[in-house]
Amino acid sequence: MSERSYWQRMSRKRMSRRGILSASARAGVGAAGLALVGCGDDDDDGQSVAQVQQQQQAMQQQAQDQAMQQQQQQAMQQDQHQQAQQQAMQQQAQEQSTQEQAEQQAAQQQAMVSEGKKYGGSIIEQSANVYETYDAQRTVASPVLQVLANVQSKLLRFENPNTGVLTGDLAEGWELPDATTIVLHLRGGVNWHDAGPGADHPSAAPGRALTPADIAWNIDRQRNKVLENGEEASNFGRSAYWGGVGSMDYDDVSLTLNLTEADATFVQGLANEFNLMNQPELVGGTEDQYTEVDASKVIGTGPYILTRWDPGEGISAVKNPNFYALPDKPYLDARVWVQTFQDPNAYRIAFEQKQVDFMSDPDPNTTLAIHDSLQDETYLTFQGVANTVAIFTPSNKAPWNDLRLTRAIDLAINRRQLIQQLHNGLGKVSGPVTWMQEAWAIPQEDLETFPGYRIDKEQDIEEARALWNAAGGPELGQIDWVTSELWASRSAWSATPGIVAEMFNQAFDTDQFNGITKPYLEIIPSWIAKDFDPFFSWIPNIEIPDARADMIGAFTTDAGSNYWEISDPYIDDTLNAAKQELDYETAYQMVREVQEYVMERGQFGRSICYNYIYPAIRYNYNHPQLSSPEEGWNFLPYSLNSVEQWVDLDDPSAEGRQPTAPVPL
């Protein structure tokens, strides 16, 4: 069975809405009706869980990774040939006259229309109201990117965020003359927006050409962490990444980054969704109000111009009439975001009455049930959540510095059970590299053979118990296992502290484990200080598909995120060599070997568990770039969809659509 059919079957055999209504009517009102609605949900859960238990294994073993491996191979081949292709493209572009380019663009557009992609229309989606700033360089909040990725540009973008295949954006080509040098060939004819609230801001320089100096300013700003007024700011989230740039040289058409040390992973970071380019004049002139979000503080070079950004009220953007990729892209005329629906009923009304084009309720069952009632008009997509779930054991301090205990904990974690209990089966187990970084991850069917990940959990538990007892686990007394308060504050996950504690108690046949909660405020500083209590929670988002950076950060001796104080010459040597390896096939192999090595040692206390999955429903007329798990898991898909998403307003499902008009230019 293919993975796609697995995910599609997730929602089948549900109680239809009309069934609920008629049942309610028959049974009367009040408590009887309530009970029926409740029973419907219960049934749904049971079926989903049963299906997942049986089918997830099959899914993990079969078609997915065959397809993924093919994609990986293609990606590798593409990457290896990318430089040559880019150079050829650049040379070709320069040689073409303007007329020839126009003819080519027209032909391409015609070809795309003939392939079924159409121009025009708009997309209306929900966005979580987590806009801590309008400056992508100073935030960790992904909803900020959901807006800005449509308005601003990066140097490169991912053609497929899962595999890491890159394509040009502000840089239309790039070269790696050696492992410490990146030469970016900048695209010509790129201008800052010349209309909209941002262009009207007194600090803005609307309509002028983007220059290499603009890009250098953005890089300098982040690597130095210094604002225009000379003050240092701690919230430049990518400062460590840009700190890898020792110096820059640029001329009118190219920018050369000289890295302080060889880093083959660096180039993917240029496509990191957070690395959007600000206009120096506007952002520099509004830095003192960087938390006060509105459309007048944003200007970009991207496919859309922001016309409204009122947090909590509404956001809209319209097609940039001067976007460099016109007339090919983008396909849509406008994008509108409405703010989070607090209640599934409102979201359901909005989606079913086609006031929004996309729906992904926090409760997957709601999403699946609605899809079930609208099967003819909608389809499901599945988005892997980049917030990896992990259990961290402080293996750097007693008593947990006994490798037997660390291994026992890693073995005792029942990852699949956690996915069932907390996410209704919607998720996949992750090794040291998450499954979403599919080119680098250990395939699911291989993962099932590793201790801690085995389908036969009894075998894991037997070994875990033996290690626990041998290392004197029963003499450790009461053990508080922390869950972050933020996690536990979500109603669906409120039982997590108890679930985690019970998981260990059962595995070790003890009652030593207690589930407690702590705020991130306590967890993160103690984690950074390497003096933390064992905990269960999310860990920082993965931001790029290349897993080497994460692995180096967590496992090498001097790495900033090595909170377990791991110091292993084999890991250091292998990962540092992988970091410099330009041949992806060799690098994959190196990372794979380290993953296996790490897993044999209980992941040294950094026990990655899983990444869960959110289902979403779209009407048939709504076409994102990656619409099925085979194509990709929509891991940070914003900039990809900003240019590639399209709608087919001739599709029957578009009938009765109620689009909200964007604020015009």
Closest CA to 431 of 444, 416, 417, 414: 444
Q: Does 137 bind another protein (CB under 8 A)?
A: no
Q: Does 291 bind another protein (CB under 8 A)?
A: yes
Q: Does 243 bind another protein (CB under 8 A)?
A: no
At closest approach, how far in Å is the CB of 387 from another protein?
5
Q: Does 237 bind another protein (CB under 8 A)?
A: yes
At closest approach, how far in Å is the CB of 61 from another protein?
30
Answer for which of 99, 234, 247, 478 binds another protein (CB under 8 A) is 234
At closest approach, how far in Å is the CB of 48 from another protein?
21
Q: Does 146 bind another protein (CB under 8 A)?
A: no
At closest approach, how far in Å is the CB of 175 from another protein?
32
Dihedral-angle region of residue 338 (phi above 0 means left; psi in -120 to 50 means alpha; beta otherwise):
beta
Burial letters 311-347, b for 16+ CB under 10 A, else e: beebbbbbbbebbbeeebbbbbebbbbbbebeebeeb
Three-state DSSP class for 550? helix
Q: Does 203 bind another protein (CB under 8 A)?
A: no
Do residues 620 and 649 touch, judged by C-beta distance below 8 A?
A: no
Nearer to another protein, 376 or 475 (CB): 376
3-state secondary structure 322-348: CCCCCCCCCCCCEEEEEECCCCHHHHH
Closest CA to 64 of 6, 25, 111: 6
Q: Which of these ranges, 32-40, 216-224, 499-507, 632-640, lies near another protein under the rule CB under 8 A?
A: 32-40
Distance CA 109, CA 129 (A): 36
Closest CA to 430 of 450, 406, 412: 450
Nearer to another protein, 125 or 159 (CB): 125
Answer for which of 539, 566, 609, 613 binds another protein (CB under 8 A) is 539
Do residues 70 and 160 touch, judged by C-beta distance below 8 A?
A: no
Answer for which of 87, 194, 660, 665 binds another protein (CB under 8 A) is 660
Q: Does 142 bind another protein (CB under 8 A)?
A: yes
Q: Does 1 bind another protein (CB under 8 A)?
A: no
Nearer to another protein, 177 or 560 (CB): 560
Nearer to another protein, 464 or 501 (CB): 501
Distance CA 154, CA 636 (A): 14
C-alpha separations of 6 from 9, 426, 628 in Å? 5, 11, 12
Q: Which of these ranges, 93-101, 115-123, 199-207, 486-494, lies near another protein under the rule CB under 8 A?
A: 486-494
Nearer to another protein, 119 or 520 (CB): 520
Q: Which of these ranges, 27-35, 258-266, 544-552, 601-609, lies near another protein under the rule CB under 8 A?
A: 27-35
Near another protein in 347-376, by CB under 8 A:
348-350, 352-353, 355-356
The secondary structure of 188-245 as a DSSP string is: SS-B---SSHHHHSTT--TTPBP-HHHHHHHHHHHHHTB-TTS-B-TT-TTHHHHTTE
At closest approach, how far in Å is the CB of 312 from another protein?
5
Other Cβ atoms closer than 10 A to 107: 10
Interface mask toward another protein for 34-63; x: CB under 8 A? x--x--------------------------
Near another protein in 271-290, by CB under 8 A:
289
Nearer to another protein, 30 or 477 (CB): 30
> Nearest 5 degrees, angle CA 547-CA 518-CA 384?
35
Q: Does 482 bind another protein (CB under 8 A)?
A: no
Q: What is the pairing mode between strands 334-339 and 171-178?
A: unpaired
Give the DSSP H or E segment for 315.
strand 314-319
Distance CA 389, CA 400 (A): 20
Answer for which of 50, 111, 528, 577 binds another protein (CB under 8 A) is 528
CB-based contacts of 586: which residues, under 8 Å, 6+ apart?
A: 578
Amino acid making up residue 573: D
Q: How far is CA 422 from the centre of its chain?
A: 20
Q: Does 485 bind another protein (CB under 8 A)?
A: yes
Answer for which of 342, 376, 458, 650 binds another protein (CB under 8 A) is 342
At closest approach, how far in Å is the CB of 354 from another protein?
10
**Residue with the two structure tokens 């890491």:** 164
At closest approach, how far in Å is the CB of 129 from another protein?
6
Nearer to another protein, 25 or 466 (CB): 25
DSSP letter for 548, please.
H
Three-state DSSP class for 452? coil
What are the residues facing 173 on neighbouring strands?
Answer: 185
Distance CA 548, CA 562 (A): 14
Answer for which of 293, 411, 471, 663 binds another protein (CB under 8 A) is 293
Near another protein in 640-659, by CB under 8 A:
658
At closest approach, how far in Å is the CB of 426 from another protein?
15
C-alpha separations of 350 from 129, 620, 647, 648 in Å? 17, 16, 18, 19
Nearer to another protein, 11 or 444 (CB): 11
Nearer to another protein, 221 or 329 (CB): 221
Size of the site for another protein (CB under 8 A): 67
Q: Does 549 bind another protein (CB under 8 A)?
A: no
At closest approach, how far in Å is the CB of 198 from another protein?
15
Answer for which of 122, 163, 517, 603 binds another protein (CB under 8 A) is 517
**Residue with the two structure tokens 């959540």:** 385
Q: What is the pairing mode between strands 535-538 and 479-484?
A: parallel
Q: Does 128 bind another protein (CB under 8 A)?
A: yes
At closest approach, how far in Å is the CB of 346 from another protein?
4
At closest approach, how far in Å is the CB of 521 from another protein?
5
> Nearest 5 degrees, angle CA 316-CA 639-CA 584?
170
Show the tokens assigned to 595: 């993953």
Closest CA to 130 of 119, 115, 145: 145
Q: Does 665 bind another protein (CB under 8 A)?
A: no
Burial class (CB in 10 A: 0-12, 13-18, 19+), 281: buried
Do residues 355 and 340 touch, judged by C-beta distance below 8 A?
A: no
Answer for which of 173, 198, 300, 311 binds another protein (CB under 8 A) is 311
Nearer to another protein, 64 or 622 (CB): 622
Tell me which residues touch another protein (CB under 8 A).
Answer: 17-18, 20-21, 24, 29-31, 33-34, 37, 124, 128-132, 140-143, 234-235, 237, 289, 291-294, 311-313, 338, 340-343, 345-346, 348-350, 352-353, 355-356, 385, 387, 484-486, 488-489, 517, 519-521, 524-525, 528, 537-541, 658, 660
